[in-house]
Chains A and B, each alone.
Chain A
Amino acid sequence: AQSVTQLDSQVPVFEEAPVELRCNYSSSVSVYLFWYVQYPNQGLQLLLKYLSGSTLVKGINGFEAEFNKSQTSFHLRKPSVHISDTAEYFCAVSERGNTDKLIFGTGTRLQVFP
Chain B
Amino acid sequence: DAGVIQSPRHEVTEMGQEVTLRCKPISGHDYLFWYRQTMMRGLELLIYFNNNVPIDDSGMPEDRFSAKMPNASFSTLKIQPSEPRDSAVYFCASRPDRNNEQFFGPGTRLTVL
Interface of A with B (CB < 8 Å)?
Answer: 34, 36, 41-46, 49, 51, 90, 97-102, 104-107
Contacts and interface: CB of A to CB of B under 8 A. Distances in A.
B105 interface: yes
A32 to B, nearest CB: 8
B42 interface: yes
A106 B104 contact: no
**Chain B facing A: main interface SS:** strand
A84 B24 CA distance: 29
Contact of B43 (A42, A90, A97): A90
B106 to A, nearest CB: 5
Contact of A99 (B4, B55, B100, B104): B100
Give the contact-size bracket for chain B: 20 to 34
A102 B42 contact: no
A104 B43 contact: yes
A3 to B, nearest CB: 12
Contacts of B48: 100
**Chain A facing B: main interface SS:** loop
Contacts of A42: 106-107
B56 A101 contact: yes
Nearest to A45: B104
A43 B56 contact: no
Interface in B58-113: 91, 93, 95, 98-107
B99 A43 contact: no
A62 to B, nearest CB: 19
Contacts of A51: 99
Given A43-B91, A90-B43, A106-B42, A100 B98 contact: yes
A86 to B, nearest CB: 18
A2 B35 CA distance: 17
B10 to A, nearest CB: 10
B63 to A, nearest CB: 22
5 contacts: A43-B93, A46-B101, A97-B99, A99-B99, A100-B55
